[in-house]
Chains A and B, each alone.
Chain A
Amino acid sequence: MNSTLNDANPDSSTEPVLSVRNLQTVFRTDRELIRAVDGISFDISKGETLGIVGESGSGKSVTARSIMGLVDSPGEILPKSSIKFNGEELTEYTDAEYQQIRGSGIGMVFQDPLKSLNPVYTVGNQIKEALRINRGISGQEATDKAIELLEDVAIPDPARRLKEYPHEFSGGMRQRAVIAMMLACDPDLLICDEPTTALDVTIQAQIIELLQDLQEERDLAILFITHDMGVIAEISDRVNVMYAGEFVEKAPVTELFENPKHPYTEGLLDAIPGTNAEKERLNTIEGDVPTPNEQATYCRFAPRCPKAFEDCEQVHPVHVPISEDGEHSAACLLYPEDRSTEEAVEYHRERGREAEDVPEGDHA
């Protein structure tokens, strides 16, 4: 997977499959406005895997659901947000148009495969339904195609399995069946929301391998969401670290693990048990992810940050490029490193004001 990273770069001049700009998804409650996703931007190109990592409550799943158009009232995507899929602006789509995209452009794999499968229909039935609705294939042709799809996701004895119900499948097998259903729609983009979290490690390894093979065969773009740093390291080309609705650090995967810049990323990497066996105690990040219920005029990580100083409560950090090609950036007042703290804070203040003036501007 990592080897494709270098190959992917020259292609990035072409149009990305998915391009998200300033996505803001909010939930209105009686008391407050919860900014579950607060102004994130990213691109995914063909054949590339973008990982989004963060603790629970950081807004990872809402991001995925926003792209799929699955945010229901009281949730709402704010007007200035933009989600472009193959050049089409998805935020302006009607429900019917969205249905079309879900059928043929974007596939989504959830954590719990049982929720994506109907218990009273056979697996074959459900795959054939997807084929009939989205690609107009039916009858024997659909059956043959369904067998082929199950073979593609490495389910043994596919003809027999087609006639079985979801409860007769094991957990890993169900997840494969869901992936097969998604492939039935021949998607360009696959969104995987914690697809391996509920599975055992040996089965997780199988699914990761399967996703990598499928990506290679079909040149899929994959958005992979997880809280597991190990899985992220294995599957992603690039990683965005999410915290309280915002991206705090973006980097190519090797760079992120070798050279983490944001204190939150450092904390996440330090809290992984078992990596340094000789260490007596595990490092922890104090406190919990806050609920982002007001505008970000400060750093949301500051209350838990070991390196926080006074200005962190006052100034909202913008993304500062760390590497020269701009592939690695962190949103923290400690950067740019070559400036004094005061200068750095001033830099963030300045850039923050600019961004407000040009809300559409791509601060990717």
Chain B
Amino acid sequence: MSKPSTSPSSATDQPNETLVEVEGLKKYYGEAGRFSGPPVKAVDGVTFNIEEGETLGLVGESGSGKTTLGRTLIQLETATEGRVSFSGQDITKLSGDELKQWRKNAQIVFQDPESSLNDRMTVGELVREPLDAHDWKSPAERREKVRSLLSAVGLQEDHYFRYPHQFSGGQRQRIGIARALALEPDFLVLDEPVSALDASVQAKILNLLEDLQEEFGLTYLFIAHDLSVVRHICDRVAVMYLGKIMEIGETEELYTDAQNPYTKSLLSAIPRPDPTSERTRITLPGTPPSPRDPPEGCQFSTRCPAKIRPEQFADLNDDTWDAIEQFREVVRERTRLDVGVRDRMKRQLGVFSKFDDIEAAATELFDDVEIPPDVEKPIQTAIEHVKDGYPGRARNHLKAEFGGVCDTQRPEMHPVSESGRLSYCHRHSDEYADVDTTLERRTDGH
């Protein structure tokens, strides 16, 4: 992990102060208990800052840990490790009354407006609830406050006595926003606030959020999986993958000149509303690995289109290399499978046969590619291991034979632009060819 070098750079063009500082934040689930397996590493060491008044976007595929990160930031989850400080105060250490007092400063708007509002309460009660909970001023003043909030988010004052089911999705999201604003927080986590809405309604909510930010001087963490929405509303963006920030920097710069292979792939996967566009799309193979068992090296290494090959295989034909990578993925998937008691006994006796179909899978993959002997031997050994019932050994063997720096070492955050954008990839270090050259060479080959 590199030190937070984002702060000086973004501070140069914006005199704003840093509101939120996150350092080495980790959130693991399920590590307690002797018999539990390895923990789910939802957030695995992230470091970044959010400036006052800015909107930081957090994007990533589902399961990348973006929601967990958002929830941990405002102490809805307890951090496993690391620091989160608001205006200099470390909030991971807060508890009891202190924490309750602090909560006024940071609120959250949830994704699904259908399930985040209690259907048995009127809109007025819903918006007033946080005020009641914190004993804010007198009841009459609270009611007055609720009315002004309703009009601030574009609802009518006479909606006060209606119930949530009488509203459309967009209106319900407005109620959620009013509720989050009730205690006049400085910081809002917006967890996919427009994902459940239609495009034209989306646009209205985004406009509203921008207006409110200006009016109340809010700082946003905007979580989304839709990159085009993020481009519109955010000042800076962080791209997450499997609990790690892959790239973080100024929005426009990141969209027009992404440096990290994951960001590039993600951007190229967005369907453009332009049927004539002639770009080469990078289609990523497979799905993200389980956060219970992330790769030892770079989190993205199992799907990366720019993965660094070990030197002795540098001249290997691309198709053969792809087949090897796919085979490793197949073996990796097999390690996920539980082996029952009976099979374990069979394994002891050497009559294990459950995994014999690995040969068919291998034949299918390597059928029409050329296999030099230095590739064939490790593959054969791996197949034997799997057939004997030890896919874990096969996986390690393959990693030892074919693994490069991406498989074994965590990359560093490298600065990749003058504005201080950071990217998490081995290719940014001088030893290796850079991402663009590699991707171009590969796409040409196909």
Per-position 1/0 for B167-201, Cβ under 8 A of A: 01000000000000000000000000000001111
**Chain A interface category by residue count:** 35 or more
Instruction: Judge whether A230 and B270 touch: CB under 8 Å.
Output: yes
Report how far A81 CA is from B268 CA in the complex, Å.
42
Note all chain A residues with C-beta closer than 8 A to B437.
none
Instruction: Judge whether B231 and A274 touch: CB under 8 Å.
Output: yes
Instruction: Judge whether B274 and A233 touch: CB under 8 Å.
Output: yes
Select one of B61, B199, B265, B364 contacting A55, CB under 8 A. Answer: B199
Instruction: Judge whether A284 and B270 touch: CB under 8 Å.
Output: no
B166 to chain A, nearest CB (A): 14
Which residue of chain A has its CB nearest to the CB of B210? A281
Note all chain B residues with C-beta closer than 8 A to A205.
268-269, 271, 281, 283-284
Residue B286 CB within 8 A of the other chain: yes
Note all chain B residues with C-beta closer than 8 A to A30.
none
B205 to chain A, nearest CB (A): 10
Residue B204 CB within 8 A of the other chain: yes
Which residue of chain B has its CB nearest to the CB of A199? B62
Q: Given A230-B271, A230-B272: A201 and B266 within 8 A (CB)? A: yes
For the complex, would chain A's binding face be called helix, strand, loop or mixed by DSSP majority? helix
Instruction: Judge whether B231 and A277 touch: CB under 8 Å.
Output: yes
Instruction: Judge whether B273 and A229 touch: CB under 8 Å.
Output: yes
Instruction: Judge whether B275 and A271 touch: CB under 8 Å.
Output: no
Report how far A272 CA is from B271 CA in the complex, Å.
12
Report how far A55 CA is from B266 CA in the complex, Å.
25
Question: A88-96, A132-140, A151-159, A316-324: which one contacts chain B?
Answer: A151-159
Among B266, B269, B273, B334, chain A packs the most CB atoms within 10 A around the CB of B273
Instruction: Judge whether A201 and B270 touch: CB under 8 Å.
Output: yes
Q: Given A151-B364, A156-B329: A284 and B203 within 8 A (CB)? A: yes
Per-position 1/0 for B336-375, Cβ under 8 A of A: 0000000000000000000001001100100000000000
Note all chain B residues with C-beta closer than 8 A to A170.
287
Per-position 1/0 for A158-171, Cβ under 8 A of B: 11100000000011
Instruction: Judge whether A274 and B357 touch: CB under 8 Å.
Output: no
Report how far A236 CA is from B277 CA in the complex, Å.
14
Residue A43 CB within 8 A of the other chain: no
Instruction: Judge whether A273 and B232 touch: CB under 8 Å.
Output: yes
Report how far A209 CA is from B265 CA in the complex, Å.
15
Instruction: Judge whether B269 and A204 touch: CB under 8 Å.
Output: yes
Report how far A273 CA is from B210 CA in the complex, Å.
14
Instruction: Judge whether A233 and B272 touch: CB under 8 Å.
Output: yes
Q: Given A227-B198, A227-B199: A275 and B228 within 8 A (CB)? A: yes
Instruction: Judge whether A273 and B283 touch: CB under 8 Å.
Output: no
Instruction: Judge whether A288 and B273 touch: CB under 8 Å.
Output: no
Q: Given A156-B326, A156-B329: A282 and B203 within 8 A (CB)? A: yes
Which residue of chain B has its CB nearest to the CB of A170? B287
Per-position 1/0 for B154-170, Cβ under 8 A of A: 00000000000000100
Report how far A268 CA is from B201 CA in the complex, Å.
11
Report how far A45 CA is from B141 CA in the complex, Å.
66
Per-position 1/0 for A173-196, Cβ under 8 A of B: 100000000000000000000000
Instruction: Judge whether A254 and B276 touch: CB under 8 Å.
Output: yes
Which residue of chain A has its CB nearest to the CB of B271? A230
Residue A352 CB within 8 A of the other chain: no
Residue B225 CB within 8 A of the other chain: yes
- Which residues of A, 255-306, contact B by the 8 Å Cβ criterion? 257-258, 267-269, 271-275, 277, 281-285, 288
Note all chain B residues with C-beta closer than 8 A to A230.
228, 270-273
Residue B227 CB within 8 A of the other chain: yes
Note all chain B residues with C-beta closer than 8 A to A272.
199, 228, 273
Report how far A156 CA is from B287 CA in the complex, Å.
11
Q: Given A160-B334, A269-B273, A284-B203: A172 and B287 within 8 A (CB)? A: yes
28 cross-chain CB contacts under 8 A? A2-B276, A55-B199, A157-B333, A173-B287, A201-B266, A201-B269, A205-B268, A205-B269, A205-B281, A206-B283, A227-B198, A230-B272, A230-B273, A232-B273, A233-B274, A257-B275, A269-B273, A271-B199, A272-B228, A273-B228, A273-B232, A277-B231, A277-B255, A282-B206, A282-B232, A284-B203, A284-B204, A285-B200
5 nearest A-B pairs in the assembled complex, by CB-CB distance: A274-B228, A230-B271, A282-B203, A200-B61, A205-B269
